[in-house]
Amino acid sequence: MKKFLIIGGSDAGISAALRARELAPNWEVTMVLADRYPNFSICGLPFYLSGEVTDWRNLAHRTLAEIEHQEICVLAEHMAEKIDPAAKTILVKGPTGHPTALQYDKLMMGTGAISLRPPIRGLDLPGVFFLRWMNDSFLFKKYLDTQKPKSITIIGAGYIGMEMADAMRLLGLMVNVVEYFPEVLMTLDPPLGNLVRSELERQGVNVFTGIAVTEIESKHQTLLIKGRNGFEISSDMVLVATGCRPQTTLAQAAGITLGVKDAIHVNRKMETGHPDIYAAGDCAETYHCLLDKNMYLPLGTTAHKQGRIAGENAIGGNCEYAGSLGTQSVKIFELVAARTGLKDDEARKEGFEPITVDFESWDHKVYYPGAKKMHIRMTGDRKSHRLLGAQIVGAYGKEVSKRIDIIATAIYNKLTVNDLNHLDLSYTPPLSSPWDPVQTAAQEWLRLLKN
């Protein structure tokens, strides 16, 4: 019986295992997990910590029993320590610490990413946390329950920082957000990031931008956060949420080629440079279908798709990953912020001649109660008129996600900005207008083009 071995059991790993099992029931499929939590939604951790998800077990897409019922072997609490591509083995250590060599015919690496540790003194102090895996959330939750903190400082204003600011305010903590860059949520352009900042401040969050934190000091049973130019603030606990990097130490030691930002280099079949070794998810590069090149875009949606491709190809398939546009959305209190494709500065760097329009629209007919303003920033290429990207900030609900997904679909299909006007989109006064907001934004872009 042929053996398909997978290192990692999160989004990419479980997707690969399920696809391989579906297509090749005669293969032996094994997942090697460093922890005890296969197929858990790491994206749901802020909502577990806020209490909106009442039981951490609910974050599991499938229970261990359900996974094993599908004849997928799960080796929990087994650390992969060495890959020998020539012998087609990996060396693992389980809870006993005894090393075991596992043979494979095909191997997929889904080792994920690890939290960035910025050059800040005091990151190992009690009360300072990172948030990446289930065990991180348990430590964080235990501190909340036992120490009863009244305040928290979040270093970093990206997606996790924004979601955790929301989560901690929901619990009643005083929240400080400290960001190195000039505005929060720098995945958006500053005008839209400023809308997010206003919402944070409206909800009682203290926001400090343009601050380089240099040290965390334990002082009088509190944590003192220090930054350049005399910045100081104190709180009962600290969350460091400054991003992540691919976990590729194992791959590098095995001689597997690394690429963008030291992620594992893969082609669109998710093959590495080594025969019979694949990689997918946050440890691997991502093909960007607009730019036609690999980038590093660690997203759960991407990991699921890449894992499925790797799993199918490992057992004899021949499919390719269609690519990503970096489509993302995040809920921040009563707002949703989303983006897809390229911002103006990114497009210019890639050789396009971008035109970007800022446009405001009601999310549905204004005469129907509850209409809210939606802020759309749309980018297209001056020469080809090709749609390149968009950013949207609007009221919490499904309206923003619907619109960003329309634009992502249009970019994927290489539509021009004007092509948006020809899409047959649904309309009813409580949900939209005869011309959808993305279409009126497109019309505004065309007017700007003529000027």
**What is the separation, in whole angstroms, between the first and last Cα of the chain?**
67
- Distance separating alpha carbons of residues 53 and 351, to the nearest angstrom: 44
Q: What does the block give as tokens for 77?
A: 């609490």
pLDDT band at 162 (very low <50, low <70, confident <90, very high): very high
- Distance separating alpha carbons of residues 378 and 190, to the nearest angstrom: 14
* Angle between helices 300-314 and 11-23 in degrees, nearest 10: 30
Residues 6+ apart with CB under 8 A from 353: 381, 382, 383
Structure confidence at residue 341 (pLDDT): 98
pLDDT band at 107 (very low <50, low <70, confident <90, very high): very high
CATH of segment(s) 334-450: 3.30.390.30
Q: What is the pLDDT of residues 233-263, one digit of tens each?
A: 999 999 999 999 999 999 999 999 999 999 9
Of 235, 207, 253, 199, the residue nearest 81 (C-alpha): 253
Using a 10 angstrom Cβ sphere, with 0-12 exposed, 13-18 middle and 19 or more buried, the burial of residue 264 is: buried
Q: What is the pLDDT of residues 259-312, one digit of tens each?
A: 999 999 999 999 999 999 999 999 999 999 999 999 999 999 999 999 999 999
pLDDT band at 15 (very low <50, low <70, confident <90, very high): very high
Q: What is the mean pLDDT of the chain?
A: 96
pTM of the model: 0.94
Percent of the chain residues topping a pLDDT of 70:
100
Task: Map out the domains of the chain as residue ranges.
Answer: 3-39+59-112+245-314, 128-242, 334-450
Neighbours of 144 (CB within 10 A): 18
- Distance separating alpha carbons of residues 234 and 155, to the nearest angstrom: 12
Report yes or no: 423 and 406 within 8 Å, Cβ to Cβ: yes
Structure confidence at residue 114 (pLDDT): 96
DSSP state of 434: S
Phi, psi of 46 (to 5 degrees): -60, -30
Type of residue numbered 367 = Y
Q: What is the pLDDT of residues 310-350, one digit of tens each?
A: 999 999 999 999 999 999 999 999 999 999 999 999 999 99
- Distance separating alpha carbons of residues 337 and 397, to the nearest angstrom: 11
CATH of segment(s) 128-242: 3.50.50.60
pLDDT at 413 over 90: yes
Structure confidence at residue 397 (pLDDT): 86
Percent of the chain residues topping a pLDDT of 90:
97
Phi, psi of 334 (to 5 degrees): -100, 15
The topology under which CATH files domain 3-39+59-112+245-314 is FAD/NAD(P)-binding domain (3.50.50)
Fold matches, 3-39+59-112+245-314 and 128-242: yes
Structure confidence at residue 276 (pLDDT): 97
Neighbours of 404 (CB within 10 A): 25
The gap from C-alpha 108 to its chain's centroid, in whole angstroms, comes to: 21
Structure confidence at residue 451 (pLDDT): 80
Helix segments in 97-188, DSSP class H: 134-147, 159-170
Report yes or no: 419 and 410 within 8 Å, Cβ to Cβ: yes
Report yes or no: 367 and 213 within 8 Å, Cβ to Cβ: no
Structure confidence at residue 398 (pLDDT): 84
Q: What is the pLDDT of residues 39-83, one digit of tens each?
A: 999 999 999 999 999 999 999 999 999 999 999 999 999 999 999
Report yes or no: 56 and 47 within 8 Å, Cβ to Cβ: no
Instruction: Specify which residues 323 forms β-bridges with.
Output: none
- Distance separating alpha carbons of residues 193 and 181, to the nearest angstrom: 11
